């Protein structure tokens, strides 16, 4: 039997679809999204435009998503505009990291807390941590303490804690070179942050391989055979002791859907997705060129099509989050 706090259990149900799968939309990007809008407009984007685009995505697409990930800096109006049946996950970390300091150390938004996030009708808290198992023990210990701190805060407020892990290696700038070492970095990070001391309720993970470099799948020169790639997915499944969902990492909608099918065939019992740019990226161009009406037209047509197709793939490939614990019958709500 596994004990889950009452508030956390109710929130995880709210964040999932009727099948217990987390079919979440992500649009907590800040600086990068502002640059995308500016590039589409061919002039600097304003904070107001950033807020407005998030709001449009939320209004138009949350009727088809089980939850949405937003930031509290520019995403509050979007959160309030979401469909009533759609759960809300809120980012707690500052965007990016200090490029002048070693280790890509994380930091929290200074005027926010888990309590304040919960007061904004959020159903979960998310932080992103860049993690390299091969970094110095000193740097990784700072990150571990950081995650412990947020985990304790979420436990005190009885709200789910989503941890997003993005791996890296400062010494391997070449993408093909990094692709070779990425699997072990992802797997080790999953092992570490599955430990109970961190209080993580859901891991938000990048897939353990560069799918564009899998033989027979991607367009780039292969780094892994299909069987090697499947083995890495199986090892993530073995390492994860809590529910986990895949992030889209900016790949195309088509490649992300292929990835989910591949993961399922490999034996990954993942519990959903947090899909961002793969769903709405082209809508930025529509917004830049056609304003609010252009974005609405795109979101109602291609945007909806992207999310409907993703949901259809999830229905065939994803596993309910509570199956990690052997089913709801093995969970004690306390």
DSSP H or E stretch at residue 130: strand 124-131
- Give residue limits of the domains in the chain: 2-333
Find out whether 167 and 185 touch, Cβ atoms under 8 Å. Answer: yes
Query: 3-class SS at 171?
Result: coil
Task: Identify the pLDDT of residue 51.
Answer: 98
Tell me the pairing of strands 22-26 and 2-4: unpaired
- Cα angle value 102/104/106 (rounded, 5°): 130
What are the percentages of helix, strand and coil residues in the chain, rounded to 5?
50, 15, 35
DSSP states along 256-269: HHHHHHHHHHHT--
Architecture of domain 2-333: Alpha-Beta Barrel (3.20)
Task: Identify the pLDDT of residue 226.
Answer: 97
Both structure tokens of 19: 């099948």
Determine the Cα–Cα distance for residues 276 and 204; give it in Å rounded to an integer: 12
Task: Identify the pLDDT of residue 29.
Answer: 95
Q: What is the pLDDT along the chain (334 residues), one digit of tens a residue?
A: 999 999 999 999 999 999 999 999 999 999 999 999 999 999 999 999 999 999 999 999 999 999 999 999 999 999 999 999 999 999 999 998 988 899 999 999 999 999 999 999 999 999 999 999 999 999 999 999 999 999 999 999 999 999 999 999 999 989 999 999 999 999 999 999 999 999 999 999 999 999 999 999 988 999 999 999 999 999 999 999 999 999 998 888 899 999 999 999 999 999 999 999 999 999 999 999 999 999 999 999 999 999 999 999 999 999 999 999 999 999 999 9
Task: Identify the pLDDT of residue 218.
Answer: 85
Determine the Cα–Cα distance for residues 87 and 90; give it in Å rounded to an integer: 10
Longest dimension (CA), the chain: 56
Asked whether the whole model's pTM tops 0.95, one would answer: yes
Determine the Cα–Cα distance for residues 237 and 199; give it in Å rounded to an integer: 19
Task: Identify the pLDDT of residue 179.
Answer: 96
Determine the Cα–Cα distance for residues 12 and 66; give it in Å rounded to an integer: 10
Q: What is the DSSP letter of 300?
A: I
Find out whether 52 and 84 touch, Cβ atoms under 8 Å. Answer: no
Task: Identify the pLDDT of residue 249.
Answer: 87
Task: Identify the pLDDT of residue 109.
Answer: 98
């Amino acid at each position: 039997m596994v004990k889950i706090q009452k508030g956390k259990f109710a929130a995880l149900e709210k964040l999932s679809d009727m099948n217990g799968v987390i079919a979440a939309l992500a649009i907590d990007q800040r600086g990068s999204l502002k640059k995308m809008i500016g590039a589409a407009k061919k002039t600097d984007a304003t904070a107001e435009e950033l807020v407005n685009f998030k709001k449009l995505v939320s209004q138009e697409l949350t009727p088809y998503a089980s939850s949405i990930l937003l930031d509290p800096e520019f995403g509050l109006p979007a959160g309030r505009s979401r469909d009533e049946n759609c759960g809300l996950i809120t980012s707690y970390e500052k965007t990016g990291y200090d490029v002048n300091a070693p280790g890509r150390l994380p930091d929290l938004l200074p005027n926010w807390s888990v309590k304040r996030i919960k007061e904004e009708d959020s159903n979960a808290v998310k932080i992103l941590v860049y993690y390299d198992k091969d970094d110095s023990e000193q740097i990784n210990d700072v990150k571990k303490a950081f995650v412990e701190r947020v985990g304790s805060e979420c436990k005190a407020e009885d709200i789910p804690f989503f941890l997003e892990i993005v791996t890296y290696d400062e010494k391997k700038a070449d993408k093909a070179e990094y692709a070779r070492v990425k699997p072990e970095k992802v797997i080790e990070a999953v092992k570490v942050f599955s430990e109970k001391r961190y209080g993580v309720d859901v891991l938000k993970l990048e897939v353990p391989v560069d799918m564009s470099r899998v033989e027979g799948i991607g367009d780039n020169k292969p780094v892994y055979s299909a069987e090697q790639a499947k083995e890495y997915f199986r090892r993530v499944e073995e390492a994860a002791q809590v529910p986990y969902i895949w992030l889209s990492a900016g790949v195309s909608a088509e490649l992300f859907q292929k990835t989910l099918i591949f993961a399922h065939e490999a034996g990954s019992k993942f519990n959903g997705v947090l899909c961002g740019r793969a769903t709405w990226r082209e809508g930025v161009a529509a917004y830049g060129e056609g304003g609010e009406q252009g974005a609405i037209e795109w979101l109602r047509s291609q945007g909806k099509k992207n999310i409907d197709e993703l949901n259809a793939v999830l229905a065939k490939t994803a596993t309910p989050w509570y199956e990690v614990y052997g089913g709801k019958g093995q969970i004690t709500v306390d």
